Amino acid sequence: MVGKDASVLTISTVGPLRGSVTTFGALVGSGFRRYTTYRQATIAGTFTNIVFGYLRCYVLLAVAAGTVGGRPGGYAPDQLVTYVWLGQGLLSVVMLWGWAELAERIRTGDVAADLLRPVAPLTAYLAADLGRAAHGMLTRFIPPVVVGALCFPMRMPTRWQTVPLFLVSVLIAVVVSFGCRYLVNATAYWLQDARGPILLWTLGAGVLGGLYFPLRLLPESVAVTLWLATPLPSILQTPLDVAAERDGPALQLGLVALQLFWAVVLLVLAAVVQKRAERRLVVQGG
Amino acid sequence: MGELRAYAALAGAQARSVFSYRASFLIELFSNVGATVFDVLSVLVLFRATDRVGGFTLPEALLMTSITSAGFALADFTVGNVDRLKVYVRAGTLDAVLVRPLGALPQLLLMDLPIRKLLRVVFGFGVLAVALRMNHIDWTPARVLLITVAPIAAAVFLSSIFVLSASLAFWWVDSGELGSAFTYGGRDFTSYPITVYGPLFRGLFAYALGFAFVSYQPALALLGRPDPLGLPAWAGFAAPFVACAAAVVAAVVWRTGIRHYRSTGS
C-alpha cells in the first residue's frame, strides 16, 4: 500500500512527477471513500432531488405548453425534461451548496494542520472534491435521470460527441464549482466568520447558475453577460445545455471552452488568495 | 409568568448575540430577503415566455405565489429553526433542552432567534399587497375575512410541515435533506397553480398532504374562479381548518417523537 494511502506519508523513491500524481490519486480515492460512508444521507438526498425534479419538470412543461410554438427559451419540451432531471442529478455532483469545511477549519484553527502537510491545501482539497464528485456521479446522478427518463419524454443525444463532451463538461463544472466554493470559504481568512459570503453564494449560485430556470429564458443580453462575466452558468447551465443539445456543435464546444477558461482563472485566483492568506494567517485557538 | 420571563431571557440573550456581529447580521438579513425575491423573480421569468401557465395569468399566479411567500416567510421565521433538530439529536444537545423545566419546542425555537428572517416576512406581505392590487377582486365580507386568514393559515400549515419533517430526526437521525422535500418542496409546489402538475403527483402533494389549501384554493375563492380541478367554491374557505388539522397532527407526532427520543449519550 506504500504511496497508495493518503494517511501514510512516504518519501517517494520514484520521480517527483509520478510521486505527486500518485499522491493526488490517493487523495481522490480517499475523498471517494469518505462519501461512501454517508449511505443514508445519500438516499435521503436523492429522494429530495427527485421530488424537486417532478416539481420543476411539471412547471417548465406547463410553460412550454402555454408558449406559442412550444419552445420557451429555444428548448423543445423533451430538452426541458433533460435540463430538469440532469440538473437534479448534477446538483450534488458539483455540490453547489453546503461546503463550509475550509471556512470552519479556518475559524477553529484546524487549518494549521493542513498547512503542515507536504501537499498544498488547494491541491489536497481539489483532489478530495474530485473524489467526492466521482462518488456523486455514481450514486446521486443516475437515480434522478432514470426516474426522469421513465416518467417523462426525455431527449436522448443525437450527436456522437454529446456524451463525451457532457462528461468533460461535468468534470470542468466540478472544478469551476470547487474554485468558487474555495474562494468563498477563503474569505474566512480575513473575516473569521464566512457565513455571510457563503449565504450570498448559496443564493446567487442557484438562480444565476441555471438551477431554477434555464438562463435562456432571461433577456439575451442578460444571459450573455452572465455567461461571459461570471463563472456561475459554467457550473450547471453549460453541462445541461450540452446534454440537451440546445445549441449547434460549434457553440456546444465553445461553451465548454468558456467553462475551461473559468476553471483555470478560478484555480489561479484561489492559489493567489491562498498564498496571500498564508502570509497573514494568525491561527485561531490555543 | 415565570416561564414567560425565562423565554424572554432566552430571546434577549439571542438578540444580544445577534447584534454583536453587525456586519454578519446585515448580510444575513439581506440574503434572506434575496431568497424570497428570487422566488418571485422566477415566476416573473417563466411568465416572460408565456402569458398563461396551467390556465392562469400572471396576476392570478402571483396571488398564489405571494400567499405562499408570506405564509412561508412567517412559518420559517417562527419555527424554521426546528429543522436544526437533527443536529441537536446527533450531538446530544437535545438532552440539555429536555432537562430544563420548559417546553422543548419553544426552547429549540429560541436557541437561534431568527431576526435575520424578519425583513423577508415584510417583503412576503408586500408582494401579497401588490398581487391583490393587480387582480380585480370583487370584495365581499367573506373574502376580506379570507385574505386576513389565508396567509396565517398558510403559515400554520407550513409550520406544521416544518415540525413534522424535523420530527423525522427522532426516528431517523441521518434523514439529511429528506425534510426539505416537504418544507422547501411544499413552498415551491404551492408557488404555482396546481393545475400544472401530473394527476398522481398532484393527488399526493395537493390532496393527500393538503398543500392545495395553502394558496391555490384560497386564491380561487378570492378571485371567484371555479376550480378547473372540480373542488367546490367553498374549498378555499376550508384552508384554516386544514391548517388546524395539520397542526394537530404535527403536535401529536412531535410529542410521540420526544417520548421516543433516546440520547446518544456521551
Closest Cβ–Cβ partner in A63, A196, A197 for B53: A63
pLDDT digits (tens, 9 = 90+) for A149-191: 999 999 999 999 999 999 999 999 999 999 999 999 998 888 8
Q: Do A47 and B181 touch (CB under 8 A)?
A: yes
Query: Would you say residue A191 lies in a domain?
Result: yes
Task: Give pLDDT, residue A242.
Answer: 95
Task: Give pLDDT, residue A204.
Answer: 86
Query: Would you say residue A9 lies in a domain?
Result: no
Q: How many CB atoms lie within 10 A of CB A245?
A: 20
What's the pLDDT band for A286 if we cut at 50, 70, 90?
very low
What's the pLDDT band for A70 if we cut at 50, 70, 90?
confident
Question: Looking at this protein, which amino acid is placed at residue B60?
Answer: E
pLDDT digits (tens, 9 = 90+) for B55-92: 999 999 999 999 999 999 999 998 888 888 888 888 88
> How many whole angstroms separate alpha carbon A267 and alpha carbon A183?
9
Q: Which of B36, B117, B171, B174 to mutate to test the interface with A (most CBs of A within 10 A)?
A: B174
Q: Name the average pLDDT for chain A.
A: 89
pLDDT digits (tens, 9 = 90+) for B83-95: 888 888 888 888 8
Which residues of A are less than 8 Å from B177 in CB distance? 41, 44-45, 48
Query: Would you say residue A141 lies in a domain?
Result: yes
How many angstroms separate the CA of residue B193 from the nearest CA in chain A? 9
Check if B41 contacts A (Cβ < 8 Å). Answer: yes
Domain count across chain B: 1
Please identify which residue in the block is written with the cell numbers 405548453.
A65
Contact criterion met (CB below 8 Å) for A99 and A2 = no
For residue A177, the number of C-alpha atoms closer than 13 Å in the C-beta half-sphere is: 31
> How many whole angstroms separate alpha carbon A252 and alpha carbon A256?
7
Check if B107 contacts A (Cβ < 8 Å). Answer: no
Closest Cβ–Cβ partner in B48, B49, B185 for A55: B185
Domain count across chain A: 1
Task: Give pLDDT, residue B160.
Answer: 95
> How many whole angstroms separate alpha carbon B201 and alpha carbon A233?
30
A40 contact partners, CB below 8 Å, separation of at least 6: B172, B174, B175, B176
Check if B171 contacts A (Cβ < 8 Å). Answer: no
Q: Do A203 and B174 touch (CB under 8 A)?
A: no
What's the pLDDT band for A111 if we cut at 50, 70, 90?
confident
Task: Give pLDDT, residue B260.
Answer: 86
More confident: B217 or B92: B217
Query: Would you say residue B265 lies in a domain?
Result: no
Query: Would you say residue A34 lies in a domain?
Result: yes
Which residues of B are less than 8 Å from A59 in CB distance? 46, 53, 192, 196
Residue A128 is part of which domain span? 16-280
Task: Give pLDDT, residue A199.
Answer: 84
Contact criterion met (CB below 8 Å) for A80 and A61 = yes
Q: How many Å separate Cα A78 from the centre of its chain?
A: 24
Q: Name the average pLDDT for chain B.
A: 89
Residue B101 is part of which domain span? 2-260
Query: Would you say residue B266 lies in a domain?
Result: no
Largest CA distance in chain A: 67
Residue of A nearest to B48 (CA): A217
> How many whole angstroms separate alpha carbon A198 and alpha carbon B28?
10
**Does residue A19 surpass a pLDDT of 50?**
yes
Contact criterion met (CB below 8 Å) for A111 and A102 = yes
Closest Cβ–Cβ partner in A52, A73, A203 for B49: A73
Check if B172 contacts A (Cβ < 8 Å). Answer: yes
How many angstroms separate the CA of residue B189 from the nearest CA in chain A? 6
Closest Cβ–Cβ partner in B21, B31, B175 for A200: B31
More confident: A31 or A4: A31
Q: How many CB pairs under 8 A join A and B?
A: 105
**Does residue B184 surpass a pLDDT of 80?**
yes
> How many whole angstroms separate alpha carbon B44 and alpha carbon B63?
12
Task: Give pLDDT, residue B30.
Answer: 84
ipTM score here?
0.90
Q: Do A203 and B38 touch (CB under 8 A)?
A: yes
Query: Would you say residue A231 lies in a domain?
Result: yes
> How many whole angstroms separate alpha carbon A194 and alpha carbon B88?
22
Q: Which of A46, A48, A83, A221 to mutate to test the interface with B (most CBs of B within 10 A)?
A: A48
Q: What is the model's pTM?
A: 0.89
Contact criterion met (CB below 8 Å) for B62 and B42 = no
Task: Give pLDDT, residue B176.
Answer: 73
Contact criterion met (CB below 8 Å) for A175 and A123 = no
B202-210, long-range: CB < 8 A, 24+ apart: B202/B229, B209/B182, B210/B157, B210/B242, B210/B245, B210/B246
Helix (H) or strand (E) holding B133: helix B118-134
Q: How many Å separate Cα A234 from the centre of its chain?
A: 9
More confident: B19 or B43: B43
pLDDT digits (tens, 9 = 90+) for B189-214: 999 999 999 999 999 999 999 999 99
Query: Would you say residue B207 lies in a domain?
Result: yes
pLDDT digits (tens, 9 = 90+) for A225-256: 999 999 999 999 999 999 999 999 999 999 99
Q: Which of B17, B21, B25, B27 to mutate to test the interface with A (most CBs of A within 10 A)?
A: B27
**Does residue A34 surpass a pLDDT of 70?**
yes
Query: Would you say residue B246 lies in a domain?
Result: yes
Which residues of B are less than 8 Å from A57 in CB distance? none
**Does residue A1 surpass a pLDDT of 60?**
no
Closest Cβ–Cβ partner in B31, B49, B188 for A67: B49
